[in-house]
Structure 1
Amino acid sequence: MSTRDRRVRTGLPVLLWVPAAVALALVVLPVVGLVARSDLSSLPARISSPGAVAALGLSLRTAALSTVLCLLLGGPLAVVLARSRVPGVRVLRAVVLLPLVLPPVVGGLALLYLLGRGGLLGSHLPGVRIPYTTAAVVIAQVFVAMPFLVVGLEGALRTAGERYEAVAATLGARPWTVFRRVTVPLVLPALGSGLVLSFARALGEFGATITFAGSLEGVTRTLPLQVYLLAETDVDGAVALSLLLVVVAVAVIAVARPRALRGQR
């Protein structure tokens, strides 16, 4: 069979190109609209304003800390969901996925009535104030971002199977050694993708943050909240910060997962 015949046989169906083009347009054209609406001459001054710099710095710090917490908490949770045989794992999996389908505002209310002064746990923490603090921003971001890591990592663990871990166990390796030397290397690509998604989701978090943490400048006002406030009084400023958020998100993906941009695993 010639090379041309192989290309013909393995080519994509023509019908796939139309919905693919529409999907691409839905992602790209809104960003193009932002660029067309922005005043490029005043863009440097707007994104370097004290409020914008403070909001960006807070967003980056809290998103980075949230990503670390997602790794430390969500990683073990994904392993437990993928490898454990305890009853009720399916129910636990559904609960973990709940933040993906809940409106972020509902998640913020749930956190408020859990950790607020009159909440289920907050009422038993005298002298500890969590809502409307930077810690509340991090908790809200972890709440909405951690499922992205758990879902991707659990799927990778299930796809990889347990045969390599079983072989290591039969050779006398202890459970922790099997996890560290076999399980973790198997899922490193999925772990990297999950961390990038978690960071990006935390960076763009809005609804749960404004409900649970409020919008205090320098304390809880992240870049998405700054964009929301400016949209009511300074549209050009909101557009400029929106473009800044887009650039930061693209830069994060490019730095953290450069192979994804080249279509490699």
Structure 2
Amino acid sequence: MPKPKPEPVSRATHGRGVLIVIGGHEDKEGDRVILKEVARRVGRGRLVIATVGSHDPEGYFDTYRKAFKELGLEKTAELYLGDREQAHDPKKLELLEGAKGVFFTGGDQLRITSQLGDTPLFERVLEVYKRGGVICGTSAGASVLCTTMLVRGNGEESHRLGTLRMAPGLGLVKHMVIDQHFAERGRMGRLLGAVALNPVELGVGIDEDTAIVLNNSSFSVLGSGAVYVVDGSSVSYSNIAEGEDECTLSIFDVRLHLLAQGDVFDLAERRPRKATPRERKRLEKLTGGEGEGDAA
């Protein structure tokens, strides 16, 4: 008897916008391929740079404002919350009126959710998204976009069952767990642990200076690193429910895909594919025509 088809991965809200999810440390001074895509989508609109994840945001906004200004994006504004009460402040809400995009910087994903979740300010973020804007997140700002986010787990060793910590995220993406700084911090073990906990969740690990551009039906890869997709829909066994905290994770029949710039992942089919000629042409324009190998 054939296995039932796994539930498609999709966005949780029904907006017309796009999500750009970045693995951290994106290039801000060189070719800036990822930031260039953000600027292209924001166009002549205003980008709100949310430094909410940082306990000490000094310098974050200035760095991004300079980088975006050099890319032709003139209208930027900083959003920071000293505490959750400020998420009800009319002046903070005004920052998002008419904004074309919101960019969540790095820091602590729990700080983002605890300060912003289920507040009038977060409703304004959703409004930006639903009217066709772009929502971006880098590092902690990337993980927080999911319904369930990774908070903690061993990185540079075999994954131990008791070290994994998950928490509710902002919910812009459902059925997907996103991890960042992926190869640089050796996070394959903890992503496998997250998928073992709930195999319906598609695990997506994103290297630094790498992003996925996510719409309703697929995501494409942009940047200098790789994206790792862990699909647990065919898992036949794991010890996640029976092992002690210090046990090493055991999991069988996991599917792994490794994607580079220009590759596309079909969320409905849970399958990667090569870019179409149209997608490749747009990517070559964005990257300055770096060659077929970089765009394929």
Quickly name the TM-score band, shorter chain normalised: under 0.3
| More helix as a share of residues | 1
TM-score under structure 1 normalisation?
0.25
Specify which structure has the bigger relative contact order, considering alpha-carbon pairs within 8 angstroms and separated by 6 or more residues: 1
TM-score under structure 2 normalisation?
0.23
| More strand as a share of residues | 2
Q: Based on CA coordinates, which of the two structures has the bigger radius of gyration?
A: 1
